[in-house]
Amino acid sequence: MSRPSKPTVRRLYKKALLAVFGCGEKDLDAGLVAALKSDVHCAGSAPGNWCGPDGALEIYCESGIPNATDINEFPPMPEFGYKGGCSYNSDRWAKVDALVNSGLNALGYPGVVVYHEPYNSAVVAVAWV
């Protein structure tokens, strides 16, 4: 079974990251859109070369793309009836992976699966299964 090109996977990840982490408001999403243009690289040609040539993508999470390891905690605000809570970016990155894999399936690559794997606190690698 053939794999899609790395630029195809990159395009799908950019769309999925915007869909999951964006809000749909052009002005508010501007920072994320700019980061998606400059910080999503094909593995093997990325500036840091953290993943090597065998991976699919290398995504830098220093300029607006949320890292997969971040945990967001929100304090209680009883004056607003909010009890507090916590969200994990890894849950949202799993949604990104699902959107990308669905897109690959729709493009005629059934059985081809990619997934994210945090490399460190600033880099997320995307690998082939």
Q: Provide the residue-wise pLDDT of the chain in tens; the chain has 129 residues.
A: 699 999 999 999 999 999 999 999 999 999 999 999 999 999 999 999 998 889 999 999 999 999 999 999 999 999 999 999 999 999 999 999 999 999 999 999 999 999 999 999 899 999 999
pLDDT at 63 (0 to 100): 95
Question: What pLDDT was estimated at residue 16?
Answer: 98
Total number of domains in the chain: 1
Assigned domain for 35 exists: yes
Residue 1 lies in a domain: no
Supply the pTM of this predicted model.
0.92
For residues 25 and 116, what is the distance between their CA atoms, to the nearest angstrom?
26
- Residue 72 in any domain: the answer is yes
The pLDDT value recorded for residue 1 is 66
**For 115, phi and psi rounded to 5 degrees?**
-150, 155
Extract the runs of DSSP E, i.e. beta strands, from the chain.
40-42, 57-60, 71-74, 85-88, 114-118, 123-128
From residue 94, alpha-carbon distances to 11, 40, 48, 69, 77 in Å are 17, 17, 24, 12, 29
- The token pair at 91 is 């849950």
Q: Is 79 left (phi over 0), alpha (psi -120 to 50) or beta?
A: alpha
Domain with 75, as residue range(s), is 6-128
